[in-house]
Amino acid sequence: MFCHRASEEGSTILKRRRREKTRSQPFPGAWLDILTRNFQRYSRLSADDRDELRGHIQVFLAEKTFEGAAGLRMTDEIRVTIAAQACLLLLHRKTDYYPGLFSIIVYPHEYVAVHSQRDEMGVVDERQQVRLGETAARGALVLSWDGALRGASDIHDCRNVVFHEFAHQLDAEDGAFDGAPVLPEASMYIAWARILGREFDVLRERVRLRQPSDIDAYGATNSAEFFAVVTECFFQRPRQLRQLHPELYGELKQFYQQDPASAASEG
């Protein structure tokens, strides 16, 4: 048992050193051009946050595999644009860079996936769904390139497929898609469950009554989708979220260790 523990500690130290070395490398000029051109939010970050984000991007791209699907040729533009959005969620936080994720599969456009659902009688219903992205607890994450690029370039659109799918990755780090990611402190779970649970119930009731809501109705699907949807709102429409849902905004601010509403300039 001692040898096993020592081996784990040694592996952790080596991984930390490897990542420090990767972050210390000069950031490629071509990648910086992609960031400034495609990721509108980059220019709005502080100098320290831009520096931290670039380091995260370097580690992320060194450790994750990107694969093109349906004839899409993989390029640095695709890799950097997606990595920038995924790594924005990691700023200011202790991170292991989405440890359950190994591969990002990218389609050129929306794609069709088969969704299977078993009813109470055990009958499996298979339906085709058009999707922009999806994720698994471990292994692969799927995105559409045009959806990822649209989310990066339009910071006023409340939808961002990269934020959404990588929020699912954060949620699943404890092994379950349940809308409760690993929080910095155990004491935070009570308030998290109370506030997000209440907001989720309000959204579900609005959807049931077919009433409009500033939070996407897809968030009423389940607790995991609610967390992913409000993560999109937190980064894309932070001032609106803070104004209309201050306690929810406060929980997300504490989790993500960021306050985008204070820095945002929303039109």
Structural domains of the chain, with CATH: 25-173 (1.10.472.150), 178-267 (3.40.390.10)
What are the beta bridge partners of residue 134? Answer: 142
- The answer, yes or no, to whether residue 28 has pLDDT greater than 90, is yes
Give the model's confidence band at 259: pLDDT under 50 very low, under 70 low, under 90 confident, else very high.
very high
DSSP strand pairing (101-107 vs 65-68) = parallel
pLDDT of residue 136: 74
Q: 152-183 burial, b for 16+ CB within 10 Å, e for fewer?
A: beebeebbbbbbbbbbbbbbbbeeebebbbee
- The answer, yes or no, to whether residue 250 has pLDDT greater than 70, is yes
Give the model's confidence band at 266: pLDDT under 50 very low, under 70 low, under 90 confident, else very high.
very low
Average pLDDT of the chain to the nearest whole number: 90
More confident residue, 61 or 7: 61
Amino acid letter, 194? R
Residue with tokens 């490398």: 25
pTM: 0.89
pLDDT of residue 267: 42
pLDDT of residue 12: 85
Give the model's confidence band at 42: pLDDT under 50 very low, under 70 low, under 90 confident, else very high.
very high
- The answer, yes or no, to whether residue 83 has pLDDT greater than 70, is yes
Give the model's confidence band at 127: pLDDT under 50 very low, under 70 low, under 90 confident, else very high.
low
- The answer, yes or no, to whether residue 122 has pLDDT greater than 90, is no
Tokens of 180: 């409760």
Give the model's confidence band at 114: pLDDT under 50 very low, under 70 low, under 90 confident, else very high.
low
pLDDT of residue 182: 95
Amino acid letter, 73? R
Give the model's confidence band at 134: pLDDT under 50 very low, under 70 low, under 90 confident, else very high.
confident
Residue with tokens 């934020």: 163
pLDDT of residue 155: 78
- The answer, yes or no, to whether residue 117 has pLDDT greater than 90, is no
Question: Residue 196 burial by CB count (10 A; 0-12/13-18/19+): exposed, middle or buried?
Answer: buried
pLDDT tens readout for residues 145-173: 999 999 999 877 789 999 999 999 999 99
In sequence order, the 6+-apart residues with CB closer than 8 A to the CB of 198 are none
| 189-199 mean pLDDT | 98
Tokens of 203: 């959204």
Residue with tokens 């690029």: 149
- The answer, yes or no, to whether residue 220 has pLDDT greater than 50, is yes
